[in-house]
Structure 1
Amino acid sequence: MTIHIDHHPDQNHAGDEIVEKNQGNVKEQETEHVLDGGFVAPHTNSFGHTFRDYDAESGRRRSVEDFYRTNHIGQTVDFVKRMREAYGKLNRTEMSIWECCELLNEFIDESDPDLDEPQIEHLLQTAEAIRKDYPDEDWLHLTGLIHDLGKVLLHPSFGELPQWAVVGDTYPVGCAFDESIVHHKYFKENPDYDNPSYNTKYGIYTEGCGLDNVFMSWGHDDYMYLVAKENETTLPSASLFIIRYHSFYALHKSEAYKHLMNNEDRENMKWLKVFNKYDLYSKSKFRINVEEVKPYYLSLINKYFPGKLKW
């Protein structure tokens, strides 16, 4: 049975109230942030720096910048179309959601300045933080668990794509690259940068066309969205929106590209802003007991997905 967002208490104003509550309750202290339902998040990441600080001196600063240079050069309209065509066939393998979670244990995201733990740790940290603050929204708990599963594209059985084609912030291609995108300067080396069909505000799109009609840079977000949608998940549209756009920081942090959104996007955006805080601030050295929480998440997987999925 599909769970709809409008079942949330006081849904007519839920998103707005959540945002207002967050603005009033998020307290910047010396060492921590306090989010919606009392989740205490660290003020600094695993390396002792503020979150998403791409200029902070750390052991990963140079590698992260090198990653984005390669990413910004390679993510073209042609590349994105080819990847969506190839991976949209979902003919690589069949496996369950939990099997996919376990595959991620061996990978670390080279684009992330905040974390160097295996991905399964981050997935469970995110899901458990949401579960604590939103106990009745089980679809959101599961979204926290699966939002990064598209990173299996790094695995040899999925073609072992390079990290620049799997992780990192996402953004539209086919229109001008907004200056709010991290390490924007490297787009000047992208073949689409000087293409008059692609380098204007709207490019190949129109006002309010809807993000579903926009080509996003290829990576784990778009891939997991395709997997969930084509395997006929019963998760609500807000969940699919979160999965597809959770790395679209130019939109949900800087409010770029809002001119491409339609009404459904704006409604779903309320939930993405809720989710994003947990996706970002739950990154820490705190370890989750996987075996302890596994039965709960297996029950959610069985509720919203078939036993085996095509990938």
Structure 2
Amino acid sequence: MCVFSIFVKPENVSSSLYLCSQGPDPSLAYRPNLKTNETKEKEGYRNFESGDLIDRVFNTYKLMHTHQTVDFVNQMNSVWTGCSHTKLGMMDAIMSLDQLVDESDPDVDFPNSYHAFQTAEGIRQAHPDNDWFHLVGLIHDVGKTMALWDVPQWAVVGDTFPVGCQYQNSIVFRDNSFMDNPDEKNSRYNTEFGIYEPNCGLDKVHMSWGHDEYLYRVLRFNNCSIPEEGLYMIRFHSFYPWHSHGDYMHLCNEKDLRLLPWVQEFNKFDLYTKTTELPDVDKLKPYYQSLIDKYCPGILKW
């Protein structure tokens, strides 16, 4: 079991306040064109073999794949899912990501808050009438605030995968990063089903701990009204071995298969809106604050 001390900011954590203006949406004139990325082909995304950032990315995944065990995931669930660490409004949480560059991402090297607005705007252009979908695009990575509260990035960012059963080949760096993980050698955990029953459903599967599960738990804890499809996108958007490679289907039930297309639709915008064309965040805030007020208002417990 990997044990480390977790330190979080006190409840009166400092944050800036962002006000939402009333009236017609002024942001339409300030939205970047995110329908296409002329500087990068789709095949160029998620390149885990080469690139300027590859050493940083591999080191993050190596730590993740060494320490993400059943015991560790249980520990993190115990520490974080009670949402007793601080209180913070959603927009403040989003903007706190200005301080974070995701060390697992081979595609971008700019603060995560820009990616939030890029994803949201891409969804907004393609699905203009589905406002909760826009909000999901904006907030999907907000669980990464844990990295600002002294949780190491390998326990916050990156692709997720089930613990407690055999690691599938589609996991990033599968061949050369799990050798020091004790669960890899544990006969209870290293079979196809491990501790799970066939088609038990992903709700019963312990995923590697990260920002996906944390934000999902925060939204449920605070009774936010985002529909089931949106909550599912948030919870499993980093589960690439499943939604992009078709692995772990033996653990899925009918609900998982029904909601999988929603996760796949979200993934197109999460991935392919990462461009160097950064949105005018200040001009976009009022529209997105109105969605926050609708679906997850007020000060939330984290």
Q: State the TM-score, normalizing by the size of structure 1.
A: 0.84
Q: Which residue of 2 aligns with 1:44?
A: 40
- CA drift of 1:183 comes to 0.4
Residues 43 and 50 of structure 1 are in contact (CA less than 8 Å); yes or no, is this contact kept in structure 2?
no
- CA drift of 1:291 comes to 1.6
- CA drift of 1:263 comes to 1.2
Question: Structure 1 runs of 4+ off > 3 angstroms?
Answer: none
Q: Secondary structure at the match of 1:233?
A: coil
Q: Which residue of 1 aligns with 2:173?
A: 183
The answer to whether the aligner puts 1:74 opposite 2:99 as a matched pair is no
- CA drift of 1:139 comes to 0.9
The answer to whether the aligner puts 1:96 opposite 2:86 as a matched pair is no
AA in 1 matched with 2:104: S
Q: Secondary structure at the match of 1:196?
A: coil
The answer to whether the aligner puts 1:146 opposite 2:152 as a matched pair is no
Q: Percent identity?
A: 45
Superposition pairs of residues 232-271 of structure 1, within 5 angstroms? 232-271=223-262
Q: Residues of 1 paired with 2:123 and 2:250: CA distance? A: 30
Q: Which residue of 1 aligns with 2:128?
A: 135
> Closer, same or farther in 2 for the Cα pair 1:269/1:43, shift >3 Å?
farther
> Closer, same or farther in 2 for the Cα pair 1:278/1:42, shift >3 Å?
farther
> Closer, same or farther in 2 for the Cα pair 1:49/1:66, shift >3 Å?
farther
Q: Which residue, out of 261, 269, 284, partners 1:293?
A: 284
- CA drift of 1:115 comes to 0.5
Q: Which runs of 5+ in 1 are unaligned?
A: 1-37
Q: Secondary structure at the match of 1:174?
A: coil
- CA drift of 1:41 comes to 3.3
- CA drift of 1:60 comes to 1.0
AA in 2 matched with 1:180: S
Q: Residues of 2 paired with 1:261 and 1:250: CA distance? A: 13
Q: Residues of 2 paired with 1:150 and 1:71: CA distance? A: 17
Q: Secondary structure at the match of 1:78?
A: helix
- CA drift of 1:59 comes to 2.1
Q: State the TM-score, normalizing by the size of structure 2.
A: 0.86
Q: Which residue of 1 aligns with 2:4?
A: none
Q: Secondary structure at the match of 1:169?
A: coil
Q: Which has the higher contact order (CA 8 A, sep 6+)?
A: 2
- CA drift of 1:49 comes to 7.9
Question: CA RMSD, aligned part only?
Answer: 1.4
Deviation per residue, 1:157-177 (Å, 9 max, x gap): x3x111111101100000000
Q: Which residue of 2 aligns with 1:13?
A: none
Q: Which residue, out of 216, 221, 230, partners 1:230?
A: 221
Q: Which residue, out of 48, 54, 72, partners 1:54?
A: 48
Deviation per residue, 1:11-44 (Å, 9 max, x gap): xxxxxxxxxxxxxxxxxxxxxxxxxxx9223462
Residues 104 and 151 of structure 1 are in contact (CA less than 8 Å); yes or no, is this contact kept in structure 2?
yes
Q: Which runs of 5+ in 2 are unaligned?
A: 1-33
- CA drift of 1:248 comes to 0.5
